[in-house]
Amino acid sequence: MTLLMLPIEVIIPELKQQLTLKQQVILQAPPGAGKSTFLPLLLLKESWFAGKIIMLEPRRLAARNIAHYLASQLGQEVGQQVGYRLRGETKISSETQLEIVTEGILVRLLQQDPELNGVDLVIFDEFHERNLQADLGLALCLDMQATLRDNLTLLIMSATLDNNALQQHLPEAGYVSCEGRGFPIDTIYHPVVTRTANSNDRYLQQTALVSLIQKAFMEQEGNILVFVAGVKEILGCCQALQTWINNNNLAVLLAPLYGQLSLDAQQVAIRAPSNNQRKIVVATNIAETSLTIDGITVVVDSGVERSFKFQAQTGIGKLTSQFISEASATQRAGRAGRLSAGTCYRLWAKEKRLNAQNDAPILQSELTALMLEISAWGVNHPKQLPFLTQPPEKHIQVAQQLLQAINAIDINGRCTKHGEQIIEFALSPRLGHMLLTAKTLEKKLNVQGLLALACLLAAFLESNEKSSDDIVAELASVSYQVKTQYKKLLKKCAISAPTILPLQYCGVLLAIAFPDRIAMSRNNANHDYLLSNGAGACLNQSSILLNEKMLVVADLALSEQQTNSLIYKACAISLDEIKALLPDYLTSTDYLFWSLKENKLIAEKRLMLGKICISRVPLNKVTKEQKCEALLNGVRQVGLSMLFWSDSNKALLTRLRYASLQYELANKDKVIDYSEEALLNELDIWLAPFCIGITQPEQFKKVDLKAALLSRLSWEQQQKLDRDFPQAIVVPTGSTIKLTYREQQVPLLSVKMQELYGQAQTPSIFDGKIDIQLALLSPAMKPLQLTQNLDSFWSGAYKEVQKEMKGRYPKHFWPDDPATAVATRKTKKHLS
């Protein structure tokens, strides 16, 4: 390969061959190899691709820049042979053969035309980023390939693929690997003292990072690319650097780079600086791969990235900062060596071990949009699609619950007509539901401009702009980006912008979108709120919403330094508004439970808004059945320890749990689960029938727990339990000795040694599968030996035991060959 050749050119013949032979091809090529900027134009010329080529890029900025670059290589404008489709921005024409799109657009195209008619090749670029839409797009394409279009080709490209996982997932795929150009990169490690995963200085104080950038600037020539965790770090770093640049009168262009920047600001970071000027770009991981930033020969890497991890138990995301993976570190360093030899400064010790790959986003993301998309595709669970990584079941359940609450899917997980209409807006399901409901509500209430207000709210919330937490105040001065999206939504809804918006309905509209995030003040000094989903949240101490009794929260997150989620965007709402306009949100419930603290029955009629108790009044009449149910609720709250367990019933429960575990390990069908969780979940089935008439906790003493526990088994199952896992074993003397069952260990039989004479093998249970453990006892019932191998004990360690016991218990029989001796319960005197 000559220096003028791109590395990708070397493997083109092999790649072409694989693309003609295989439905799926995996291409691994390092940054700068030409996979995004050279290969697509080459494939356009191939006669065996008569239809369109769609190439997916994970980021809008990269998609736009690559489209412009490829079009310029053809001497054309974007929108001719090469075009792009981004959300809210499209430049294609009838002559477009290569479309650069973001993953969300591919999903839209697939939903509109499940066969992708007219498309011959779909390229997944930078697939290693594994965002949610990329995983979904690949799963849908593979499903469509298998059922509708076996002549569609998929090319999956990346600089750092997890090849083992992908090749196992696509065992029939072709695989091609490309080496890089190989410019040397000098790596300099500059660790931070006391930097730990959970400490405040983990990601380096701003001064330390700025000092390292200054050091790199003084020691090296060329432009510098700095990687930091997030926007907050970018702004802080840029502020400190700009002061240094001004104080030293340096000819330096300082440019931030992150996804929310305007297009013009992003282009400043990407373009080469003017003559005699050096450039420092401070970026998030947006700059790791597909973006080409002119003139970079130095990288300063903080080693940190910010991720948003969804917590299913609260329905709230948590912002976490974490060390990057080894793959990301390699990508970042590679930015310094694209044009020539370069230098990478790393803010961690050389000995630091990074994970090879961090978790795929699908494992830590909120899945509402994904679950709505797959339901529209015709399936109700991700397991029915070939996802590279299956999402967590709890995340799936949370998403399904929300989608059912907004009537987007039915109880069977099928997409409703309302759900299909939500998808057409290409917004989050919450906001699409708000627009559709606002249209109906506007007519019902005869409030002009209500749908337009919903459009403005949707545009503002989708922009993800960080501002003050009062949404109504922010709507008065929205950005150009929000105004543009607002106009597009108005057009989609076929309405015009009204002169005046009915801002007083903001709270109601947001409550439609976020029924699980209506919040009521806890009336404490911390300004905490209880959300209708049961989670807690708090306002910033300087918020102008501090005195509001009720809020609707549109945006919140939990950071590493917080115990409560911080509210970023919210709007006031009143209980009267909810009662008048959203009465279905309120439910009246008879609430009965046994207060262990007060040792009495609490019986109330409660008006509930989700998990928020709006009001409560005592119930005047409480039946015996209700009292019994209250006590059972107490058991659910406290646990099974609230019941009265005799030793024999404790032993029975342990035996049942041990048997359940062994049946499961042996892959037996219909294993009955006796875990605490399972028993508490099914109290109404096995315990309630034995608690009729009980109205006080003390009366649990009367409950026949043995009968209750065994009621979960049929007669045949009980007989099988006694055969497989007997309560006792008959030893050679004829004595029946109880077995002691233990949940995580084999059962124990404690028996006098003399009663096992003549027993050559260890007794067993479960059709001989499990040898029990023997506690061999002295005549005084003291343990002499623990063994699971009786034959070995008789022929070995017994000799030492015999010698000692003959002297201590001379009246008892201690034969030389216990394996063949006659078992006895008697002394020598009585034997004769």
pLDDT score, position 2: 42
pLDDT at 402 over 50: yes
Residue 1 predicted with pLDDT over 50: no
Average pLDDT over residues 66-81: 94
| Average pLDDT, integer, range 711-731 | 95
pLDDT, tens only, 688-706: 999 988 888 889 999 999 9
Residue 202's pLDDT band (cuts 50, 70, 90): very low
Among 622, 598, 623, 589, CA closest to 697? 598
- Max avg pLDDT among 15-19, 176-180, 623-627: 15-19
How many angstroms separate the CA atoms of 765 and 326, rounded?
A: 51
Q: What confidence category does residue 260 fall into, taking pLDDT thresholds of 50, 70 and 90?
A: confident
343, 334 in Cβ contact below 8 A?
Answer: no
Alpha-carbon gap, residue 228 to 236, rounded angstroms: 11
CA distance 142 to 136: 10
Distance CA 55, CA 516 (A): 38
3-class state of residue 396 by DSSP: helix
Longest dimension (CA), the chain: 116
pLDDT (0 to 100) of residue 79: 94
Q: For residue 795, what pLDDT band results from cuts at 50, 70 and 90?
A: very high
Question: What pLDDT does 126 receive?
Answer: 86
Which residue did the predictor score with more confidence, 752 or 266? 752
Over residues 509-540, the pLDDT tens digits come to 999 999 999 999 998 777 899 999 999 999 98
Residue 181's pLDDT is what? 64
Report which of residues 759 and 207 the model is more confident about.
759
295 vs 415: which has the higher pLDDT? 415
pLDDT tens-digit readout, 410-432: 999 999 999 999 999 999 999 99
pLDDT at 197 over 50: no
Both tokens of 741, joined, read: 């069952």
Nearest CA to 299 out of 272, 328, 273 is that of: 328
Indicate the pLDDT class of residue 275, thresholds 50, 70 and 90: confident
Position 163 scores a pLDDT of: 64
CA 826 and chain centroid, separation: 66
Question: What is the token pair recorded at 400?
Answer: 């399904």
* Measured torsion, CA atoms of residues 827, 829, 831, 832, in degrees rounded to the nearest 10: 170
Q: How far is CA 230 from CA 292, 466, 469, in A?
A: 20, 13, 20
- CA proximity to 651, closest of 770, 744, 742, 751: 742
Mean predicted confidence (pLDDT) in 76-102: 93
Q: Give the model's confidence band at 480: pLDDT under 50 very low, under 70 low, under 90 confident, else very high.
A: confident
What tokens appear for 800 in the block?
A: 């030492």
The confidence band for 741, taking pLDDT boundaries of 50, 70 and 90, is very high
DSSP assignment of 432-473 equals: HHHHHHHHHHHHHHT-TTHHHHHHHHHHHHHHT----SBHHH
DSSP conformation class of 137: H
Weakest mean pLDDT among 239-253, 348-362, 786-800: 348-362
Average pLDDT value for the chain: 90
558-591 per-position pLDDT tens digit: 876 667 789 999 999 999 999 999 999 999 998 8
- pLDDT, residue 445, reads 94
What's residue 194's pLDDT?
A: 55
Whether the per-residue pLDDT at 489 is higher than 50: the answer is: yes
- The model's pLDDT over 342-393, given as tens digits with 9 standing for 90+, comes to 999 999 889 989 988 888 889 999 999 999 999 999 999 999 999 999 999 9
Cβ-based burial of 1 (10 A; exposed 0-12, middle 13-18, buried ≥19) = exposed
Average pLDDT over residues 539-557: 92
Burial tier of 629 (Cβ tally within 10 Å: 0-12, 13-18, 19+): buried
The mean pLDDT of 279-298, rounded to a whole number, is 83
Q: Is it the case that residue 218 has pLDDT exceeding 60? A: yes
Q: Residue 338: what pLDDT?
A: 78
User: What percent of the chain stands above pLDDT 70?
Assistant: 95
Greatest mean pLDDT range, 167-176, 309-318, 377-386: 377-386
DSSP state of 363: G
**Confidence at residue 653, expressed as pLDDT on a 0 to 100 scale:** 97
Q: Higher-confidence residue: 229 or 415? A: 415
Residue 561 pLDDT: 64
pLDDT in tens, 327-346: 889 888 888 887 788 999 99
Percent of the chain clearing pLDDT 90 (strictly above): 66
Count of residues making up the chain: 832
Question: Could you give the domains of the chain?
Answer: 7-177 (3.40.50.300), 185-363 (3.40.50.300), 642-724 (no CATH), 728-831 (no CATH)
Q: Is the pLDDT score of 465 beyond 80?
A: no
